[in-house]
Homo-oligomer: A and B are copies of this chain.
Amino acid sequence: MRYCSQCAGLIEQRVPPGDERLRYVCTVCSIVHYENPKIVAGCIPVWNDQVLLCRRAITPRRGLWTLPAGFMENDETAIEAAMRETHEEANARVEILGLHTLINLPAVNQVYLMFRARLLDLDFSPGAESLEVALFREDAIPWETLAFGTVRQTLSLFFEDCREGVERFHMGDILDRSSPPRMFRRPE
């Protein structure tokens, strides 16, 4: 950020009075431009014992497999965002069943919200951002060519829950690409 979006004045990084963090502050009009984490909303579209994955047609991680997910927009709810992304990436219609995972990615200022979902029919196809979309049983999941750690962790917890016959909500953090997920456990 170099210029003020309100007055086009030069921006500098400064700790405003009463604040403790470096912010982008306009040197002309003094307005503070805050930056905050973004929500990535998506789902696990399930058909019997299979899950719908999309192979990415766009950067980053082009060619790798992912669950349908993307940035939540203004004026929508997280569930609406997850359904919209599923339709955009896989031309698929789902019914949302509940929140499955909340994963913080502080290194990239994102919070993933992934929902359990029921695929409503088999009329799906690649959207503009996908090369291919397909259903996978657990033993066919392309674990080595998944696009993101959040997708790996979400799928891994999902199949674990399936084996135990439960529907759980999971919360955790992925601090960086080389760290394993750190999942929250309720203190005793």
Contact = CB atoms under 8 A, between A and B. Distances in A.
A3 B2 contact: no
Contacts of A109: 74-75
A75 B35 CA distance: 10
Interface in A94-139: 95-99, 102, 104, 106, 109, 111, 113, 118, 128
Interface string A1-25: 1111111100100000010010000
B33 A36 contact: no
A57 interface: no
Contacts of A39: 36-37, 39, 111
Interface string A57-93: 0000000000000011111111100000000000000
Interface residues of A, number: 46
A35 B111 contact: no
Contacts of A177: none
Contacts of A106: 74-77
A37 B2 contact: no
A171 interface: yes
B34 A36 contact: no
9 contacts: A3-B6, A5-B11, A36-B38, A36-B72, A39-B111, A74-B109, A76-B106, A78-B104, A79-B171
Interface of A: 1-8, 11, 18, 21, 33-39, 71-79, 95-99, 102, 104, 106, 109, 111, 113, 118, 128, 169, 171, 173, 184, 186-187
